[in-house]
Amino acid sequence: MSTTEERTEERTGFREQGMSEWIRKNLPSSMRPSCFTTYDVDFVLRNYSTNRLAFVEMKCYQCEPAYGQRLTMELIDESMRLGILARNEHYGIKSMQWTWCGYWLLQFENTKPDDGRMWLNSYELTEEQLKHHLGQIVAPTAPGSPSQK
């Protein structure tokens, strides 16, 4: 790997840890009275050709989202669904219409698709099935493609 490639390589875990530490030091606590919480979106899948959009939350070691994170995911999911419906109705132009494909939960037995079992919205699948389903979310090739909503 060249020096340029090394410098541009994503270091997500390091970046997230640094930002998490900064948030804990500088923003209000999640304890009362502020009740302030933060969550990140792990992946945004957007196909600007098919106008399809989805969010994916990834959890390693079969972890579940915390209660507050799950409520936030549900709020974002419904807000996006209703917002995109309203946006599509407002513009009324087919080429500007978007499809919200949902907020998906991807869980790994370990840390990635090729080192153990995995589940997408609680359904176990193989790495090949994961490729197919994530691709179908934003670029469907057949009727009946997966969609959370």
Tens digits of residue pLDDT in 13-63: 555 678 878 888 888 877 777 778 888 889 999 988 889 999 999 999 999
pLDDT of the residue at 94: 82
Together in a domain, 32 and 47? no
**Contacts (Cβ under 8 Å, ≥6 apart) of 68:** 30, 37, 39
DSSP character at residue 105: E
**Any domain includes 144:** no
**Phi/psi at 10 (nearest 5 deg)?**
-65, 135
Residue 118: domain span: 39-138
43 to 4, 27, 54, 104, 105: CA distances (angstroms) = 25, 24, 8, 10, 10
Together in a domain, 55 and 125? yes
Together in a domain, 103 and 119? yes
Residues 69/118, Cβ–Cβ less than 8 Å = no
Total structural domains within the chain:
2
pLDDT of the residue at 141: 63
User: Given pLDDT bands bounded at 50, 70 and 90, which one contains residue 86?
Assistant: very high
**Any domain includes 148:** no
14 in helix, strand or coil?
helix
Across residues 68-83, what is the average pLDDT? 94
Together in a domain, 131 and 118? yes
Together in a domain, 30 and 47? no
User: Given pLDDT bands bounded at 50, 70 and 90, which one contains residue 133?
Assistant: confident
**Any domain includes 145:** no
Termini Cα distance of the chain: 42
Residues 132/144, Cβ–Cβ less than 8 Å = no
| Per-residue model confidence as pLDDT tens digits over 93-132 | 887 889 999 999 999 999 999 999 999 999 999 999 998 8
